Structure 1
Amino acid sequence: MAGITKHFNGSPACVDVDFEVAAGEIHGLLGQNGAGKSTLMNILLGLVRSDRGEVALGGELVTVRDPNHARDLGVRMVHQHYSLIPTLTVWENVVLSSSGAVDREKTITQIEEVSERFGLAVNASAMVGDLSVGEQQRVELVTCLMDRPRLLVLDEPTAVLTRQESRSLFRMLASLTAQDNCSVVMISHNLAEIKAVADRATVMRGGRVVSQVVPKTTEVTDLARHMIGRDLPATPDIAAVIGMETAQASTESSVAETSARPVLSVVGVSGSHDGTAALDDLSLEIRPGEIVGVAGVEGNGQQSLSALLAGAFKPRQGEVQVNGVRVAVGRPGSARAAGIGVVPEDRRESGCILDMSVADNLSLAALGSLSRAGVVSRRRLNRLAEGLVKEFDIAVASIDQPMRSLSGGNQQKVVLAREMSAEPAVLVLAQPTRGLDVGAVADLHQRVRDAAASGVAVLLISSDLNEILQLSDRIAVMHRGRIQGVLPRAEADPERLGLLMGGVSA
């Protein structure tokens, strides 16, 4: 790709970008949220037309008309936000992206073969709407790999995979590039992963290429400096922020042992969510100023726990209390009225309204304070939005632009800013750092600590064990909808947590 330039509403997304990937190479593409990475790849996929610039594949100039044309050219991409139809099964979704007659058994066999080869567990007969975000991401991966592409673009491929699945994916990528001579572009904010698997990397900042490096001979902290244009703050969890698996849990708790009454109490909750068994006699307490991390293999009820606390799931039995007062979970608005703020796992599905403006999305938790006699003051709303955009460093051309025009990371920042600025008594964070660059992750971690220090009860649901170990005072492990065990931070280590996550008492 040579001289690629693209503007949206007068704002530059890519400016004279040169990007080259060799045959059989794993090439990292790095940059902060809004740096232009996804726009560049969307141009390659034919989803976006560049203002100027050229694209060549195998040395031949091409004009990629649309994603179907890109597929015919051997280019496939697994997007950060999947494009599956929830009311269809996995195999039916796969068939939608293929041509020719529909053959159910043949398609299921192909899915199973690719899943086994690449170590990505996928149930071909499952309804997509019943799958977790991580499981749906695996479906997208399998769908692309079935085509045996010559160039595969992965946008944050490990964000929703377990550590074991990520390692399996990296082994598959090494095999794919070596044996099939496929080239891979890997967009990732996990710098340790890029260092481990990428042959070369291109770093973008502000829509421009700022450097090209060989990750294996570049320090991770130097990669971060290239990305954000400055040194990362020297925080205790810097290893976790940049994705180092050697990160160790801090032995210092952010909350002293206390007999204070719990802010949040989940008592004996059982029930089904979206037609499947979800929570089974689950009980959990969080005290003032405490951060409780929830770990577990995805699909063991974490999503249902988040939905319960958001008021979107009414259990068969049990109750939720905030400061000793029962919350009418399942009734719209009840959770927020009780002082629970929730950053959901899927920001696009339930965290924001894509066709509304950035300003309107930022104001959703504060409409009461922005209104008089039921009429919202646009002046006060805009002032709130502009303040949050500045405070949380959200990259926008205007607070009036629609949410869907923002990068995934900046959409996440909008949701985080809205919920954290509402001063909740309980803050629920489900996979809060997915899609965030290293600078934003470091900032979020500090904000979580500050919220706890102010007395907020924080529930952190994350598939990133490093993040759980670094931030949590106590760690609760979920297995099949139950709390399998709870460990104080000082007693938690990856081995014990792994046993609990597998359903074994530790």
Structure 2
Amino acid sequence: MLRLAGISKRYGPVVACDAVDLAVHQGEIHGLLGENGAGKSTLMKILLGLVQRDAGTILRGDEPVEIGSPQDAVALGIGMVHQHFSLIDPLTVWENVVLGDKGRVDRSLACAQVEEVAERYGLPVDPTARVDRLSAGERQRVELIKCLRRDPSVLILDEPTSVLTQAESAELFTVLRRVVRTENRAVILISHKLAEVTAATDRVTVLRRGRVVYESRTADTTAQELAKQMVGRDVSLKAEAAALGLLPVAVSPAEVTSDGVALRLRDLTVRYGGVTVLDRLSLDVGAGEIVGLYGVEGNGQATLGDLLSGLVVPDAGTVEVGGAPVDLTGAGALHKAGLGVVPEDRHRSGVVLDMSVAENLALKEDLGFFVSRRRMRAAAQRRAEEFNIVAPSMDAPVRSLSGGNQQRVVLARELSANPSVLVAAQPTHGLDVGAIEDMYVRLRKVAGSGVAVLLISTELEEVMALASRIAVISSGRIVGVLAVGEATAEKLGMLVGGVAA
């Protein structure tokens, strides 16, 4: 249905796509794998007309085509559901679905179309519901309906299950399989989860550093081989399973050396515009323990992270560090109490991109009125060596570092203050396999030194690999806490979906 031949794209000296060949067949789900920076996003942007290629040919069937704009892509039957939702929250479902249509809008006709597509593909949703009142799974359905209403013959899905429960993910792939098989469409599935790709796809292509390094029928390959092709080296699925999107081979409870509760959250409540984002959330984390806070995105985790960073003051509830209550209205009070934070979005609140590595590492230090740049660089160099931060120099802007090294800068700065509690929110988002595994090693080491670690993550494999206990968050409240030894994907999936495990 679609063939890319010799597609290349450069950004200055950086080669994002290097003579990429990709064939997408009718009636198949084609998996596209690769680490961050492998070229997947650039390739899809070229297909959607968002980026213009430097070289190569795109063929629709046997005919060469030009895709100069998103409108050209739609006209050719190419549609995409992006990783991050493109919905307008205050609008209704039907209003979001018709965005971009030309001419007069007929509300009754639009609602009827939404209902027809929803019934046809098994994606139930109320066309008159406001989007900001929908769950993450329902929003994903709206994105799919919005795309399927345009009747694409090639559907691109970018990390489609990142905000879905296990049951919603299974439902999504059931729908996709039906669409592909019964209507002879094609799907390109972009995912970093090997388990997802091996279970859902018919064919798989692996990109590494902008090049196609491997392609195969999915039935003819293995997760081990795909992992090796992704990272360019032999990998241990036992040691690196979680980093590759696979459940750990053997799960055993982490050894906890807790000698008391280091972090106590009690009845934390946050409301925005009449909507309760955190609902009497309570949780304890012991010294030397890693507790995983698990749930799909949009259930209050980001607000909790902001609260523990001192960016949000709760409407009710308390935070205690080391048994002492913290005045949450005081600037820097949580940091002074001994709490360090690796924030969810390192660019928004973790680093200052245009400041140097040395300056970022010193952000939380009391440097006094006069700052010795020599001493600041020397201290930064020591931390860079300890945390394996790779940078051209300590004076280089943090913007120039890779995602993994930026995250190491954040971790090094937070741990240099010798916290008794570390909050790590989505600590491996946007990192490649090597950087993910390095982060896992460091978090285990931190807990082993007696620091209480609260790991906030949407990755099931991550919390099961690292945590001794897993607390599940749904609609802003803790709905269950399981020891990792008794936690299973099924039990956690039921809790995330609001069903007692």
What is the letter of the counterpart of residue 313 of structure 1? V
8 A Cα contact 1:30 1:203, kept in partner:
yes
The correspondence of residues 183-198 of structure 1 with structure 2, limited to 5 A, is 183-198=186-201
- Please point out which of 9, 18, 21 is paired with 2:21: 18
* Cα offset, 1:427, TM superposition: 3.0
Q: Aligned pair 1:266/2:268, yes or no?
A: no
What is the letter of the counterpart of residue 267 of structure 1? R
Judging changes above 3 Å, is the alpha-carbon distance between structure 1 residues 53 and 313 closer, same or farther for their aligned structure 2 residues? Answer: same
* Cα offset, 1:47, TM superposition: 0.9
- Please point out which of 414, 417, 420 is paired with 1:422: 414
**Once the two structures are superposed, what CA deviation does each residue of 1:303-351 show, in whole Å capped at 9, x if it has no partner?**
4333332333322221112223433436665545544444555667x45
The residue aligned with 1:287 is: 286
Query: How many residues align structurally?
Result: 492
What is the letter of the counterpart of residue 468 of structure 1? V
The correspondence of residues 55-204 of structure 1 with structure 2, limited to 5 A, is 55-115=58-118, 117-118=120-121, 124-125=127-128, 128=131, 136-204=139-207
Partner of 1:491, secondary structure, is: coil
* Cα offset, 1:39, TM superposition: 0.7
* Cα offset, 1:496, TM superposition: 4.2
Structure index of larger Rg: 2
8 A Cα contact 2:195 2:245, kept in partner:
yes
* Cα offset, 1:402, TM superposition: 5.8
Q: Aligned pair 1:250/2:246, yes or no?
A: no
What is the letter of the counterpart of residue 320 of structure 2? Q
The residue aligned with 1:446 is: 441
Q: Aligned pair 1:309/2:304, yes or no?
A: no
Partner of 2:98, secondary structure, is: helix
* Cα offset, 1:368, TM superposition: 4.3
Cα distance in 2, alignment partners of residues 182 and 480 from structure 1: 36
The residue aligned with 1:492 is: 487
What is the letter of the counterpart of residue 141 of structure 1? L
8 A Cα contact 1:189 1:436, kept in partner:
no
What is the letter of the counterpart of residue 321 of structure 2? V
The residue aligned with 1:33 is: 36
Judging changes above 3 Å, is the alpha-carbon distance between structure 1 residues 227 and 459 closer, same or farther for their aligned structure 2 residues? Answer: same
- Please point out which of 454, 459, 471 is paired with 1:464: 459
* Cα offset, 1:44, TM superposition: 1.3
TM-score, normalised on structure 2?
0.84
Partner of 2:32, secondary structure, is: strand
Partner of 1:149, secondary structure, is: coil
Cα distance in 2, alignment partners of residues 113 and 337 from structure 1: 57
Judging changes above 3 Å, is the alpha-carbon distance between structure 1 residues 478 and 41 closer, same or farther for their aligned structure 2 residues? Answer: closer
Cα distance in 1, alignment partners of residues 373 and 135 from structure 2: 39
Judging changes above 3 Å, is the alpha-carbon distance between structure 1 residues 304 and 20 closer, same or farther for their aligned structure 2 residues? Answer: same
8 A Cα contact 1:273 1:313, kept in partner:
no
The residue aligned with 1:473 is: 468
**Once the two structures are superposed, what CA deviation does each residue of 1:61-94 show, in whole Å capped at 9, x if it has no partner?**
1221111221121111222333344454444333
Cα distance in 2, alignment partners of residues 57 and 333 from structure 1: 57
The residue aligned with 1:321 is: 320
* Cα offset, 1:16, TM superposition: 1.6
What is the letter of the counterpart of residue 149 of structure 2? M
Cα distance in 2, alignment partners of residues 12 and 5 from structure 1: 8
Cα distance in 2, alignment partners of residues 370 and 52 from structure 1: 53
Judging changes above 3 Å, is the alpha-carbon distance between structure 1 residues 69 and 473 closer, same or farther for their aligned structure 2 residues? Answer: same
**Once the two structures are superposed, what CA deviation does each residue of 1:381-430 show, in whole Å capped at 9, x if it has no partner?**
99779959x946799xx965968xx9xxx658735652464215433334
Unaligned runs of 5+ residues in structure 2 are none
**Once the two structures are superposed, what CA deviation does each residue of 1:217-262 show, in whole Å capped at 9, x if it has no partner?**
21101100011101224645x44443345x4662332313x3x332
Judging changes above 3 Å, is the alpha-carbon distance between structure 1 residues 33 and 89 closer, same or farther for their aligned structure 2 residues? Answer: same
* Cα offset, 1:270, TM superposition: 2.6
Identity %, equivalent residues: 46
The residue aligned with 1:48 is: 51
8 A Cα contact 2:269 2:314, kept in partner:
yes
Cα distance in 2, alignment partners of residues 138 and 374 from structure 1: 56
TM-score, normalised on structure 1?
0.83
Judging changes above 3 Å, is the alpha-carbon distance between structure 1 residues 19 and 375 closer, same or farther for their aligned structure 2 residues? Answer: farther
Judging changes above 3 Å, is the alpha-carbon distance between structure 1 residues 240 and 401 closer, same or farther for their aligned structure 2 residues? Answer: closer
* Cα offset, 1:435, TM superposition: 4.8
- Please point out which of 363, 370, 392 is paired with 1:367: 363
The residue aligned with 1:231 is: 234
**Once the two structures are superposed, what CA deviation does each residue of 1:89-111 show, in whole Å capped at 9, x if it has no partner?**
44433332333322334434444
Judging changes above 3 Å, is the alpha-carbon distance between structure 1 residues 482 and 87 closer, same or farther for their aligned structure 2 residues? Answer: closer
Judging changes above 3 Å, is the alpha-carbon distance between structure 1 residues 199 and 338 closer, same or farther for their aligned structure 2 residues? Answer: same
What is the letter of the counterpart of residue 289 of structure 2? E
State which drifts further: 421-430 or 202-211: 421-430
Judging changes above 3 Å, is the alpha-carbon distance between structure 1 residues 145 and 426 closer, same or farther for their aligned structure 2 residues? Answer: farther
State which drifts further: 112-121 or 76-85: 112-121
What is the letter of the counterpart of residue 367 of structure 1? L
Cα distance in 2, alignment partners of residues 7 and 23 from structure 1: 30
The residue aligned with 1:275 is: 274
Cα distance in 1, alignment partners of residues 378 and 44 from structure 2: 35
Judging changes above 3 Å, is the alpha-carbon distance between structure 1 residues 21 and 38 closer, same or farther for their aligned structure 2 residues? Answer: same
8 A Cα contact 1:189 1:435, kept in partner:
no
Cα distance in 1, alignment partners of residues 273 and 445 from structure 2: 35
The residue aligned with 1:455 is: 450
State which drifts further: 66-75 or 370-379: 370-379
What is the letter of the counterpart of residue 253 of structure 1? A
**CA-based RMSD:** 3.8
Cα distance in 2, alignment partners of residues 451 and 109 from structure 1: 56
8 A Cα contact 2:303 2:312, kept in partner:
yes
Partner of 1:24, secondary structure, is: coil
